[in-house]
Amino acid sequence: MSKNIKIPAEEVLIQVQDLGLSYGSVRAIKNITMDVARNAVTALIGPSGCGKTTFLRCFNRMHDLYPGNHYEGRIIMEGQDLLGNDVDLTELRAGIGMVFQKPTPFPMTVFDNIAYGLKLKGILNRTELTDRAEMALKHAALWDEVKDRLKSGASGLSGGQQQRLVIARALAVEPKVILFDEPTSALDPISTSKIEELIFQLKKEVTVIIVTHNMQQAARISDYTAFMYVGELIEFNETDVIFTNPNVKLTEEYVTGRFG
Amino acid sequence: MPPPGFSMFRGINMANQKVKDYKDKIFRATTFFAAMMVLAVIVGIFLSLAHQSLPAIQKFGFFRFISTPTWDPVHEVFGAASSLYGTIVTTVLAMAIAIPVSIGIAIFITEMCPGFLKGAMGTAIELLAAIPSIIYGMWGLFTLAPIMGDTVEPFLQHTIGKVPYLGSLFSGTPLGIDILTASTILSIMIIPFIASIARDTFNLTPQVLRESAYAIGATRWEVIRNVVMPYSKSGIFGGIVIAMGRALGETMAVAFVLGNKHQIARSLLDASSTITVTLANEFTEADSDMYMASLFYLALILFAMSFLTLAAAKFILKERAKS
């Protein structure tokens, strides 16, 4: 029995092949090989320090912002190696959105937060910006709450609203993939369930990869789950299998709460 | 009153509470006194300046004093306009040079500088602030002024000097002892203030906010322009005001290279005088009561200017924090 599931080729959007990341002499993650299914939610779980966030940040090359990081292996999306030297990082990051642990609205109005990414892409037409912003906000289930305060500062919104604003901002530029790095860890339970519901809805249009330390969350919203431990991928399978009938003892011990 | 024999504790009782209360009172009175000293000094300086300038205030009034460009000790006709003009023009020009340069320095140090240079650059900037102003003055007179007079100013005359209207700013004989040189020195002196405060506030921008801007496809310049700078606006503004206060009050560096001439010069290549320079140069020569009183009046005006600059800045920052 293989510990990693093989996803049918026609459903695969991204293939991760032998991925590793080291900074200096430290190898933070190594030998990761797995597929990311298109229009599905893939969860990355594991104890603190297992490298799940480091893994996530490889997809949009966040590590390139800091000197001394070195990738190994390949991340192939539709035939293109995202780790290649020929990749335009600005374009890559616009195409692979990211939502962080804490809400990160920019110091601008609600509307400008959404419009910002679009403007970077070269959309300057006022009507189009307004339309797209409205669409993104509706998409992120935030429109009804903010439609009367589009011109006020984004910092005035509640934490949960800010996080949905950030998701709307990522959605507005129509990326193929959105990466979530523990998006609800700073939020209250009601906001959390709204975000979870939203992520669940999102997969109709985008592919989602989410890092979470909350196993129930992974079980609730993801289709596939990857369990990582000390920088390595231990097991990758359909979420049901990981949580009910894992193939590896370590995975079972983790999902049943015996360590972590 | 607690009933006799009452205690908060099971075993050991507190030490004599009366003595402790007494010590606490002394402590409070001491800190209060220290804080009051500040107020007393400010009020005291203001009152003594006002008192000593009273004869001049009575003779010239306020608006007449600040609008009269004549400074004629022989006939005892004193007006602040020329010194005020010099103060304002050198300050504004110095700010115009220093602000963009400082922000550039701060951006380089926080956002682009390779790690090994970061500390060295930061220290260099702070050392620039540690150089005594008299040294800037000497350097300005013996090194910068000849360079300005021989090279920079003739060049400006041959380029911008040919532009209609703008050209008159660079008319006259370039001697190097003039408003432009003084402003350049001033700008070098205030660059460390703006640059180090701007650097500190840029560093306060949360890294995750920067990353989230990169994450939707912003380039380095766009992240700085649209996220880091707006986030740091009030900090930079604060640095600018501190620097402006310093520029308004700077004496020695300017005294060496400004020429101490009481005139409202149309050209930046003319000599001028600032309030501080007038004060530094002329107290020793003030032989009449009215001369002395007029100098005190100038000092009072400078005091008020610095005070108002700071007050306005505080007010603006407060309003900004509200919105």
Task: Answer yes or no: are the C-beta atoms of B88 and B174 closer than 8 Å.
Answer: no
* B231/A60 touch (CB, cutoff 8 Å), yes or no: no
Q: Between chain A and chain B, how many beta carbons pairs sit less than 8 Å apart?
A: 65
Please, which residues bridge with residue A75 across strands? A16
Cβ neighbours of A28 (radius 10 Å):
20
Work out the average pLDDT over B234-261: 89
Work out the average pLDDT over B223-246: 89
Mean pLDDT value across chain B: 90
- What six digits make up the tokens of A189? 């339970």
> What is the reported pLDDT for B170?
87
Phi, psi of A27 (to 5 degrees): -95, 105
CA nearest A28: which of A62, A52, A47, A46?
A52
- DSSP notation for B28-39: HHHHHHHHHHHH
**CA–CA gap between residue A188 and residue A124 (Å, rounded):** 36
Q: Which residues of A138-159 are buried (b: 16+ CB within 10 A; e: fewer)?
A: ebbbbbebbeeebeebbeebee
Using CA coordinates, name the residue in chain B closest to A171: B216
Distance from CA of B126 to the nearest CA of A (A): 26
Task: Answer yes or no: are the C-beta atoms of B282 and B295 closer than 8 Å.
Answer: yes
More confident residue, A238 or B314: A238
Sign (positive/negative) of CA torsion B16, B22, B23, B27? positive
Amino acid occupying residue A19: L
Task: Answer yes or no: are the C-beta atoms of A103 and A159 closer than 8 Å.
Answer: yes
Task: Encode pLDDT of B167-220 as tens digits.
Answer: 888 888 888 899 999 999 999 999 999 999 999 999 989 999 999 999 998 999
Domain-by-domain residue ranges, chain B?
A: 65-322
Amino acid occupying residue B270: D
More confident residue, B166 or A1: B166
Contacts of B202 in chain A (CB under 8 A): none
Using CA coordinates, name the residue in chain B closest to A153: B323
Task: Encode pLDDT of B67-78 as tens digits.
Answer: 999 899 889 899
Side-chain-side CA neighbours of residue B277 (13 Å): 27
- What six digits make up the tokens of B14? 């507190």
**CA–CA gap between residue A257 and residue A253 (Å, rounded):** 6
Q: What angle do CA A224, A229, A233 make, to 5 degrees?
A: 50
Task: Answer yes or no: are the C-beta atoms of A177 and A14 closer than 8 Å.
Answer: yes
Task: Answer yes or no: are the C-beta atoms of B218 and B148 closer than 8 Å.
Answer: no
Q: Which of A65, A67, A94 lies closest to B216 in CB terms?
A: A94
**Residue A115 at interface with chain B, using a CB cutoff of 8 Å:** no
Question: B116 falls in which pLDDT band (50, 70, 90)?
Answer: confident
> What is the reported pLDDT for A1?
42
Q: Which domains does chain A have, with CATH numbers?
A: 9-255 (3.40.50.300)
Task: Judge whether residue B59 has pLDDT over 90.
Answer: yes
Question: B323 falls in which pLDDT band (50, 70, 90)?
Answer: low
Chain mean position to CA B97: 14
Contacts of A95 in chain B (CB under 8 A): 217
**CA–CA gap between residue B293 and residue B254 (Å, rounded):** 23
> What is the reported pLDDT for B234?
83
> What is the reported pLDDT for B171?
86
Task: Answer yes or no: are the C-beta atoms of B295 and B277 closer than 8 Å.
Answer: no
Tokens 């200096």 found at: A24
First-to-last CA distance in chain A?
25
- Kindly report the length of chain B: 323
pLDDT means over runs of 10, chain A (260 residues): 78 94 91 94 94 95 90 93 92 93 92 92 90 92 92 91 94 93 91 91 93 92 94 94 92 86
pTM above 0.90, yes or no: no
Sign (positive/negative) of CA torsion B276, B277, B280, B281? negative
Task: Answer yes or no: are the C-beta atoms of B56 and B47 closer than 8 Å.
Answer: no
Reported CATH class of domain B65-322: mainly alpha
Task: Answer yes or no: are the C-beta atoms of B254 and B177 closer than 8 Å.
Answer: no
Evaluate whether ipTM surpasses 0.85. Answer: yes
Q: How is the beta sheet containing A232-238 ordered, strand by strand?
A: A96-99, A177-181, A207-211, A41-45, A224-229, A232-238
**CA–CA gap between residue A198 and residue A180 (Å, rounded):** 12
Work out the average pLDDT over B100-126: 90
**CA–CA gap between residue A81 and residue B236 (Å, rounded):** 42
